[in-house]
């Protein structure tokens, strides 16, 4: 029997995707932080590695609402950088497939 793949919903586009392909933001005692491992304790929210999904999540305040805390500008900057890094990696992977 194949192993079950954990699925999570992106707060930007509201689509279910594989947990490993998403970027996780976790609520901490002092606000929100980027969770690089995907295993940090606390309430988490997931965003696709797409600038458009991130913009939509921030504009609609879905990220703050999902974490039930305000997401600081510093965390948003790091999140934007992480999304750009992963989005660039995805573009290169798609080019390699062709």
Domain boundaries, the chain: 7-97
Among positive and negative, which fits the CA dihedral 88, 89, 90, 93? positive
- Written as one string, the DSSP assignment of 35-72 is ESSS--SS-EEEE-S-HHHHHHHHHTTHHHHHHTSPPP
- Domain covering 7-97 assigned CATH 3.30.1230.10 in the classification: yes
Cβ atoms of residues 33 and 92 within 8 Å: no
State the helix-helix crossing angle for 73-97 and 51-59, rounded to 10 degrees.
150
12-55 residue pLDDT tens: 999 999 999 999 999 998 889 999 888 999 999 999 999 999 99
51-86 residue pLDDT tens: 999 999 999 999 999 999 999 999 999 999 999 998
């Amino acid at each position: 029997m194949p192993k079950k793949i954990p699925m999570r919903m992106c707060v930007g586009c509201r689509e279910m995707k594989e947990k490993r392909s998403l970027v996780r933001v976790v609520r901490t005692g002092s606000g929100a932080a980027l969770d690089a491992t995907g295993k940090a304790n606390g309430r988490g929210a997931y965003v696709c590695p797409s600038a458009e999904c991130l913009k939509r999540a921030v504009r609609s305040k879905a990220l703050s609402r999902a974490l039930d805390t305000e997401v600081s500008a510093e965390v948003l900057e790091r999140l934007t950088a992480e999304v750009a890094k992963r989005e660039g990696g995805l573009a290169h992977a798609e080019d390699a497939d062709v």
